[in-house]
């Protein structure tokens, strides 16, 4: 069977599995739709949480960032995994003991305010749609390349699949679908990593292969060879950091606290039977996530070596098949500047300008400009770093079934997170805005219908973002973490650990933190991208790390405002005490 047929088989089989699970586990009540009935086993929930959180950014984009930025990409590894330690210790068990459906539910009740609930919903929707933009772009990349369809058709197919198992099954359907998706994505990520590690170093374990010698006459270790090859082409050494220490610190911290504040991750801890299970779920999730995250550095390093050896100094007329395959999707390109027909890969842009800011797209809706003007430097190859994991099996000439497996894994990663995000958006609209704020008399049947309609509308918006992608996947996702760190995380943390924090402080903190962070990102990424340099950034902090400053503003404003306004009612103080009581597993109640 040829590779394309295998791709159709693997992807079709995985989609049939997801839809079958959704039909089997259809939600019949709001409790099942929002939190899967609250009876999910901690190990199962940990696996579902890992799939929910290991998005297209983790599967598709992170190793690509590592491949092209080397040491500086460590901020993603440290930040995205460290956030689960914060979740397990500071948030998960307390939020589960509180016993509500959503993050705005906690904030609205803890701060005894419909206004606080509405502000939390706005923060949640903004964070979630920022995050989901990256997922749908990932869906578009995989479909446009592997299923041989244009990006619009691919995103529409992805929307249809997500519609079935999120709108039909709710959290109950999503939970068990995500368990299947985790198995698919982790197998799809590890198998080619084992192949490539063995081919390059002779060691089949990629974590050890990264520290092994390359299997050639050079006698160099993998990282030594990468440094030597890259510096010879004019790039910085792979192991040399280019970011300032303050920016590394801020990006790492923003990703950590952003992870702990992401609503689609937090809601997973409402699905287990008791508070102690929430902490166990976080621990299991960290173990499952570590399988991919300890492998990603090796995948990135192997991808960069293979890419350079496959492209540099090769005649374009004899370009490998993988190059022309991805070239057809506008994700890699060759500009023959000296007319010799040989591809020269060097430091510098192959084309003038930054394609993500031109407003033009290629035939498949991706970031390469149409007939791009040539830049006056030696580099003749443009490559979109988001393709590296997906193209790795082709570059390494692995069997067709491995290529098909990676295609299925990339879709599983993007669709699993997209479904979780869509669910928290629909729950925020139907439960927090309708049931708890504007239409408290709505029936359970009416609320369930509203949740499904909200999810349908959210899928439409997500599809638009997938067809008109705002940037490379992991960067867009990093912005979502910064927004979550600046808005929701402080309100949740102070709601659990500060009996003095009141509604006025929480609202002022969320609004100020979100407004500052969102404005900073919009200015440097949309309004004035040409000025986005370390010299112009506040304290030298990039937009990816500015959420830390937004978080500090949130804490400061909230504390100051709560200090000059009335203390919370006495029942709120008792509520906070009941959340933090370590014994028992019952849900905290307002007395």
DSSP notation for 5-41 = HHHHHHHHHHHHHHHHHHHHT---SHHHHHHGGG---
What range does the domain containing 574 cover? Answer: 28-216+223-303+399-580
3-class state of residue 247 by DSSP: helix
Can you read off the two tokens belonging to residue 318? 């004899």
Q: Is 315 within the bounds of a domain?
A: no
- The CA distance from 305 to 116, in Å, is 51
Per-residue burial over 400-433, b if 16 or more Cβ lie within 10 Å, else e, is bbbbbbbbbbbbbbbbbbbbbbbbbbbbbbbbbb
Q: Which residue has the higher pLDDT, 566 or 437?
A: 566
- What pLDDT is recorded for position 21? 76
Query: What length is written for the chain?
Result: 591
Most confident region among 3-12, 304-313, 412-421 by mean pLDDT: 304-313
HSE-CB of 10 using CA atoms within 13 angstroms: 27
Contact status, residue 3 vs residue 400, Cβ threshold 8 Å: yes
Q: Is 23 within the bounds of a domain?
A: no
- The CA distance from 235 to 227, in Å, is 9
Read off the pLDDT of each residue in 288-314 and give the average, rounded to a whole number.
89
Contact status, residue 271 vs residue 175, Cβ threshold 8 Å: yes
Q: Is 336 within the bounds of a domain?
A: no
Q: Is 494 within the bounds of a domain?
A: yes
Can you read off the two tokens belonging to residue 410? 């990339």
- What pLDDT is recorded for position 36? 53
The answer on pLDDT for 196 being more than 80 is yes
- The CA distance from 44 to 268, in Å, is 11
The mean of the pLDDT values for the chain is 79
Instruction: Kindly give the residue spans of alpha helices, DSSP state H, lying in 333-443.
Output: 388-395, 400-427
Most confident region among 40-54, 266-280, 468-482, 563-577 by mean pLDDT: 563-577
Can you read off the two tokens belonging to residue 412? 């599983």
- What pLDDT is recorded for position 506? 94
- The CA distance from 192 to 393, in Å, is 6
Q: Is 87 within the bounds of a domain?
A: yes
Q: Is 355 within the bounds of a domain?
A: no
Query: For 84-109, how does the pLDDT look when each residue is reduced to its tens digit (9 = 90+)?
Result: 778 777 777 787 777 666 778 888 88
Contact status, residue 386 vs residue 366, Cβ threshold 8 Å: no
Task: Give kind and range of the element (H or E) at residue 377.
Answer: none
The CATH number of residue 465's host domain is 1.20.1730.10
With residues binned 3-state (H G I as helix, E B as strand, rest as coil), the percentages for the chain, rounded to 5, are 70, 0, 25
Read off the pLDDT of each residue in 547-576 and give the average, rounded to a whole number.
92
Q: Is 331 within the bounds of a domain?
A: no
Query: For 129-142, how does the pLDDT look when each residue is reduced to its tens digit (9 = 90+)?
Result: 777 766 776 677 67
Q: Is 356 within the bounds of a domain?
A: no
Lowest-pLDDT choice from 152-156, 176-180, 210-214, 503-507: 152-156
Q: Kindly list the distances between the CA atom of residue 212 and the CA atoms of 197, 202, 274, in Å, as whole numbers in the listed order.
A: 9, 9, 45
* Confidence band, pLDDT 50/70/90 cuts, at residue 490: very high
The answer on pLDDT for 462 being more than 80 is no
The answer on pLDDT for 198 being more than 50 is yes
Nearest Cα residue to 311 out of 220, 233, 217 = 233
How many domains would you assign to the chain?
1
* Confidence band, pLDDT 50/70/90 cuts, at residue 555: very high
The answer on pLDDT for 167 being more than 80 is no
- What pLDDT is recorded for position 558? 95
Can you read off the two tokens belonging to residue 154? 């691919």
User: What does pTM read for this prediction?
Assistant: 0.78
Largest CA distance in the chain: 80
- How many Cβ atoms are within 10 Å of 150's Cβ, its own excluded? 16
The answer on pLDDT for 361 being more than 50 is no
């Amino acid at each position: 069977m040829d590779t394309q047929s295998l791709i159709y088989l693997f992807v079709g089989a995985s989609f049939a599995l997801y839809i079958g699970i959704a039909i089997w586990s259809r939600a019949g009540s709001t409790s099942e739709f929002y939190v899967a009935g609250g009876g999910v086993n901690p190990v199962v929930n940990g696996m579902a949480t890992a799939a929910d959180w290991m998005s297209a950014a983790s599967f598709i984009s992170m190793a690509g960032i590592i491949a092209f930025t080397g040491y500086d990409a460590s901020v993603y590894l440290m930040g995205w995994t460290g956030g689960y330690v914060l979740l397990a210790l500071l948030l998960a068990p307390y939020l589960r003991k509180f016993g509500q459906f959503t993050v705005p539910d906690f904030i609205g009740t803890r701060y005894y305010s419909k206004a606080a609930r509405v502000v939390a919903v706005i923060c949640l929707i903004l964070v979630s749609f920022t995050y989901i933009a990256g997922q749908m772009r990932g869906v578009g990349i995989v479909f446009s390349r592997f299923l041989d369809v244009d990006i619009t058709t691919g995103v529409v197919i992805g929307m249809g699949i997500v519609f079935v198992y999120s709108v039909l099954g709710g959290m109950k359907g999503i939970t068990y679908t995500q368990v299947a998706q985790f198995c698919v994505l982790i197998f799809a990520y590890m198998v080619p990593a084992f192949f490539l590690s063995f081919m390059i170093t002779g060691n089949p374990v990629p974590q050890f292969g990264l520290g092994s010698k390359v299997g050639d006459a050079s006698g160099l270790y993998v990282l030594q060879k990468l440094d030597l090859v890259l510096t010879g082409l004019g790039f910085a050494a792979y192991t040399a950091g280019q970011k300032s220490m303050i920016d590394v610190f801020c990006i790492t911290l923003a990703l950590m606290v952003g992870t702990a504040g992401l609503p689609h991750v937090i809601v997973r801890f409402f699905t287990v039977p008791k508070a102690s299970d929430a902490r166990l779920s976080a621990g299991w999730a960290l173990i499952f996530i570590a399988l991919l995250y300890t492998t990603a550095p090796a995948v990135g390093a192997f991808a960069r070596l293979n890419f350079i050896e496959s492209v540099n100094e090769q005649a374009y007329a004899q370009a490998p098949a993988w190059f022309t395959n991805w070239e057809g999707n506008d994700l890699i390109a060759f500009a023959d500047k000296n007319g010799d027909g040989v591809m020269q890969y060097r430091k510098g842009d192959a084309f003038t300008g930054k394609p993500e800011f031109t407003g033009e797209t290629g035939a498949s809706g991706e970031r390469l400009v149409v007939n791009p003007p040539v830049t006056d430097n030696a580099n003749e190859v443009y490559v979109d770093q988001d393709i590296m994991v997906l193209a790795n099996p082709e570059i390494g000439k692995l069997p067709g079934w491995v290529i098909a497996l990676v295609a299925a894994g990339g879709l599983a990663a993007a669709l699993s997170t997209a479904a979780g995000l869509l669910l928290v958006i629909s729950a925020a609209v139907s439960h927090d805005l309708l049931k708890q704020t504007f239409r408290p008399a709505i029936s359970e049947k009416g609320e369930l219908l509203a949740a499904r309609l909200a999810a349908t509308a959210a899928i439409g918006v997500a599809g638009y973002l997938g067809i008109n992608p705002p940037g490379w996947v992991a960067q867009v996702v990093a912005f979502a973490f910064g927004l979550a760190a600046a808005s929701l995380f402080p309100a949740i943390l102070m709601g659990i650990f500060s009996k003095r924090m009141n509604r006025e402080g929480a609202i002022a903190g969320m609004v100020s933190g979100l407004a500052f962070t969102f404005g900073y990102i919009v200015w440097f990424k949309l309004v004035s991208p040409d000025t986005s340099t370390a010299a112009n950034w506040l304290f030298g902090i990039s937009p990816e790390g500015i959420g830390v400053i937004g978080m500090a503003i949130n804490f400061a404003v909230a504390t100051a405002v709560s200090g000059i306004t009335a203390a919370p009612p006495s029942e709120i103080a008792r509520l906070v005490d009941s959340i933090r009581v370590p014994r028992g597993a019952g849900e905290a109640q307002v007395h």
